[in-house]
Structure 1
C-alpha cells in the first residue's frame, strides 16, 4: 500500500524546487516526491506559500537541525548565506513574474468560470423550456388518451347496437320462416280441401250418373248437386288463390324487411369500420406521442447534470481564488 505524504516532505520538496530555480506547483511537488494526490499536496503547498515570506526574512528558517556538528553547521550556514546573497538579486524579479503569472491564471480561470456560468444559465433556460414543452406534450397526450377512450367507448356501443340489430334480424328471419311454414300449411290444407272437393264432386257426379241410369226424374236434383259441387270447387279455388296471394304478400313484406335490416347492418358495419380506422389512427398517434415523451424524458435526463454546473462553478471558484491569493 502506498505511504501517505507529510507536510514536512512537501516543504522540503518545495524548498528543493525553489533552490533549483523552479516555481513549486502541485504537479512538480508530486513529481519530486514520486507520490501524493493533488488534493493532499494542494493545502500543504498553500501553507508553504504562506510561510515563504517569513522564512525568506529569517535565514535561520532554512537552517539545518540543531543536532548537526558546529563546523558542518557553520559551513552549511556560510554556503546558504552565500547562495542566498546570489539568489536574492533575481529572486524578487522571478517571484514577481511568478505572481503575475498566477494573477493572469486567476483571471483566465475567472473568465472560464464566467463562460461556464453563462453556458449553465443558457442550459438551465433551455431545460426549463424543454420541461414546459414536455408538460404541454403530456397534456396533449392525456387529451389523446381521453379521446382514444371515448372512441373505444363509441366502438363498444356500436358493436352492442350491431349485436342488437343482428338479433332483430334473426328474429325477423325466424318470424318469416314461421309465417312461410304457416302459409305452406294453409296451402297444403287448401289443396287437400280442393282435392277433397274434387273427389266429392267426382263421387257426386258418379252417383248422379248411376242414379240417372236408374231414374231420369232425379236429373234436376243431380244437376243441382253437381252445380253445388262446382260452386264448392270454385270457392275452394278462390280460397286457394286468396291464400297464395296472402303468401306472396307475406314473402314480399319479409323480403323488404330483410333488405331494410340488411341495409341497417351494412350501414352499421361501415360505421364500425370507420370507428376502427379512427381507433387505429388514434393508437398510432398515441404511439408517436409516447415515443416523443420518452425522447423528451431522455433529453431532460441528459440536461439534468448541466443544471448542476453553476453550483460546482461557485464552489470551485472561491477555492481557486484563495489558493492563488494565498500563493501571492
Structure 2
C-alpha cells in the first residue's frame, strides 16, 4: 500500500517540469497553475517543491548567462533552456523584487496612517476626559453651594428653635406667676373666712345688740366671698385656657424640632454621598488617565521598533536586489564539468534568502497592523 501511495504521489521533477513549461509559455508559475498543468496534487504538496524551484532559478540563470547555452541542472536529468526562458525568469525576478519593496513601503505607509488615527482618537478621548473633569468640578461646586445653603437653613431653624424655647420659658414664668397669684387669693380667702369666723364668734355675744350690724356685715362678707369666688372661677378658666394653649405650643414645638432634626440628618447624608461619589469619580479619572498614558507609551515603542525593523529589512532587500542584478564574471566557454550540477545537489542561494526576507517583512507588517489594531 505504501509503495502504491509513493508511486501515485507527485514528485519534485513533475513540479519543476510544469514550472519550466509555464515559464516558457510566458506565465508566472503559481501553485494553482502548476496543479492544473500536472492535473493532480494538493497545494500543501506543490507549495514547498515550487519554492525550491524558485530557489534554484537564480543559479540556473547565472549559469545560462555565463555559458550562453550551457545546461540547466535539474533533479536527475539535464536539459537546455532557451534565451526566452532566461529573459522571462529575469523579468519575473525583477517584478517580484519591485513588488516586495512596494508592498513593504505600502504597508509602512498604512501603519503610519493607522498610528496617526490612533493618536487622533486618543486626543479626542483626552478632550472628553477633560470635559468630564470640568463637569465633575462644576457639580462639586454646586453640591458645596447646596450644602452651604442647607447649613444656613439649619442655622436659621436653630435660631427659630431658640426663640421658641425662650417663648416657652416665658410662658412657664407666666404660669408660675398665675399660680402664685392663685395661691395668694386662696390665702386671702382663707384669711377672710377666718376673720369672718372670729367676727361671728365675737359678735355672737353681742348678737342682740349688734344683730342689725352683724347682718349687714355678714351680707357684705357674703358679697365679698361671692365676688372672690367669681374672680377665682374666672381666673381658673383663664388658667385652664392658658394651660391648653401652652400644651398645644409645646406639641407644635416638639413636632417642628423633630422635622428639623430629620431634615438636618437628610442633608448630612446627601453631603456624605456626594463626597463619596466625588472621590470615586476622581479615582476613576486618575486610573483612566494612567491606563491611557501606558497604552500610548506601549504603542509608541511598538511603532518605533517595527519601523526600525521594516527599515532594516527594506535596506537588506535592496542590497540583495542590487547584488543579484549585478553582472557576474565571464566564465570560459569550456567550463569544467561540475558534478554538483549534474547530480541535482543545490546550495542555498541568495534568491531564496531574499524570498524568505520578503516573507519576513510581510509577517512583521501584518503583526504590526494587528498590534496597532488591538
Report the TM-score, using the length of structure 1 for normalisation: 0.56
1:202 aligned residue: 194
Contact 2:207 2:214 in 1 (8 A): no
Report if the CA contact (8 A) 1:144-1:286 is conserved.
yes
In 2, the alpha carbon distance for the partners of 1:270 and 1:188 equals 39
8 Å contact kept, 2:178–2:239: no
More helix per residue? 1
State the shift of 1:196 in Å: 1.9
1:158 alignment counterpart: 150
Is 1:299 equivalent to 2:305 in the alignment? no
1:184 maps onto 2:176 in alignment: yes
Change beyond 3 A, Cα 1:266–1:192: closer
Say whether the 8 Å CA contact 1:187–1:244 is kept in structure 2.
Answer: no
Task: State the match for 1:252 in structure 2.
Answer: 244
From 144, 147, 160, the counterpart of 1:168: 160
Change (3 A) 1:128 1:301: same
What is the match of residue 83 of structure 2?
Answer: none
Residue 250 and residue 142 in structure 1: after superposition, are their counterparts in 2 closer, same or farther (change >3 A)?
A: farther
What is the aligned counterpart of 1:236 among 228, 233, 242?
228
* Equivalenced residues, count: 235
State the TM-score, normalizing by the size of structure 2.
0.50
| Gap runs ≥5 in structure 2 | 1-64, 68-88, 323-374
Q: CA RMSD in A?
A: 3.9
Matches within 5 A, 1:1-328: 111=103, 114-115=106-107, 117-305=109-297, 306-307=299-300, 321=314, 325=318, 328=322
Alpha-carbon offset, residue 315 of structure 1:
7.3
Tell me if the contact between 1:197 and 1:232 (Cα under 8 Å) persists in the aligned partners.
no
How far apart, CA to CA, are the structure 2 residues paired with 1:126 and 1:268?
Answer: 56
**Superposed CA offset, 1:36-84 (max 9, x none):** xxxxxxxxxxxxxxxxxxxxxxxxxxxxxxxxxxxxxxxxxxxxxxxxx
> Is the Cα contact below 8 Å between 1:211 and 1:218 reproduced in 2?
yes
Aligned partners of 1:222, 1:167: CA distance in 2, in Å? 63
Aligned mates of 2:312, 2:94 — CA distance in 1: 14
